[in-house]
């Protein structure tokens, strides 16, 4: 939405500049006509016509070039929008069979436990883990497409402690997570699906990039906001200014580079903000509105 407003503003400024240039050229032609008549130059009409044609041609060329650029820009925007709609539809269609595959993988894993086969258990656990990763990536792509098309979130009142305790159950095998609610906060304004995606992304990053699998999540009251502070003792050696920008992965072969960007944008859509502290250790601070 902001990019469209910027393009509209620049287009208006460019059109005004061309109009102002045309008016200025006409003024100069009129001035030159008066000077040539007063000075009694030879063939003043011929001189005026020459300047008029050259100036008019220049202005027309500017208009044609501007219209051509605008045409190709709008055409490119149409293709981009079509691709976004296609990927959003494709991602949405893939989520249903993917959920079915994960359910079947869980069933197979339960059967594998009864066989006491370490190799089979390893393969089934890997299948469940891979389907979970794929589901998370699908959710990220779907949300990215929604945000780029101007989609909105619907914040509602959520109990942060209960929400976190329910969410971390699926990560208990891989991470050691402690939750501390200092001010016994019972309500924040957040979109449930967006909050789940944000926290899952942070937990996934800890699992993939941090050797120490201990995670500390603290809930605090800061002025009129509620702070959820996520800390895992991770270290970041890249450019802090580029962190949480789209497709920035620093020096990692894992991930897609859209997770933290989505977290930041979704926090903004929920009228909150995300602050990232990179030194000495990584710390993610999520600020939410409390109960109105």
For 93-128, write each residue's pLDDT tens digit: 777 777 787 788 778 877 777 777 777 778 887 887
DSSP 82-123: HHHHHHHHHHHHHHHHHHHHHHHHHHHHHHHHHHT-HHHHHH
Share of the chain above pLDDT 90, in %: 7
The partner residues of 215 in beta bridges, in order of sequence, read 177
| Pair of tokens at residue 170 | 């699926």
Tens digit of each residue's pLDDT (9 = 90 or more) over 210-248: 888 889 999 998 888 899 999 987 887 777 777 777 766
Q: Is residue 256 within a helix (H) or strand (E), and if so which, with residue range? A: none
- CA 88 from chain centre, in angstroms, equals 14
Nearest to 240 by CA among 215, 277, 207, 270: 277
Please report which confidence band the pLDDT of residue 44 belongs to, taking 50, 70 and 90 as the band edges: low
* 196 pLDDT higher than 60: yes
| Pair of tokens at residue 158 | 């959520």
The angle formed by the CA atoms of residues 80, 81 and 86, to the nearest 5 degrees, is 100
CA distance 221 to 227: 6
Nearest to 145 by CA among 242, 204, 80, 79: 80
Give residue 19's pLDDT.
Answer: 76
């Amino acid at each position: 939405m902001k990019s469209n407003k910027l393009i509209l503003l620049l287009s208006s400024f460019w059109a005004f500049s061309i109009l102002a240039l045309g008016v200025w050229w006409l003024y100069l032609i009129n001035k030159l006509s008066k000077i040539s008549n007063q000075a009694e130059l030879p063939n003043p009409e011929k001189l005026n016509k020459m300047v008029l044609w050259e100036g008019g041609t220049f202005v027309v060329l500017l208009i044609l070039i501007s219209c051509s650029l605008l045409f190709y820009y709008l055409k490119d925007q149409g293709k981009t929008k079509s691709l976004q709609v296609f990927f959003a539809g494709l991602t949405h269609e893939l989520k249903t069979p993917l959920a079915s595959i994960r359910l079947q993988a869980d069933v197979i894993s339960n059967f594998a436990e009864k066989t006491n086969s370490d190799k089979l258990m390893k393969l089934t656990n890997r299948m469940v883990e891979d389907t979970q990763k794929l589901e998370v990536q699908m959710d990220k792509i779907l949300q990215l497409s929604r945000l780029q098309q101007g989609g909105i979130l619907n914040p509602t009142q959520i109990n942060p402690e209960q929400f976190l305790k329910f969410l971390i159950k699926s990560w208990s095998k891989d991470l050691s997570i402690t939750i501390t609610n200092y001010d016994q906060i019972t309500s924040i304004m957040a979109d449930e699906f967006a909050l789940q995606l944000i926290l899952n992304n942070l937990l996934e990053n800890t699992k993939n990039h941090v050797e120490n699998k201990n995670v500390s999540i603290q809930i605090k009251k800061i002025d009129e906001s509620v702070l959820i502070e996520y800390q895992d003792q991770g270290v970041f050696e890249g450019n802090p200014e580029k962190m949480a920008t789209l497709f920035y992965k620093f020096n990692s072969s894992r991930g897609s580079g859209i997770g933290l960007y989505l977290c930041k944008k979704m926090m903004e859509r929920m009228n909150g903000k995300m602050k990232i502290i990179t030194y000495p250790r990584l710390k993610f601070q999520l600020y939410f509105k409390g109960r109105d």
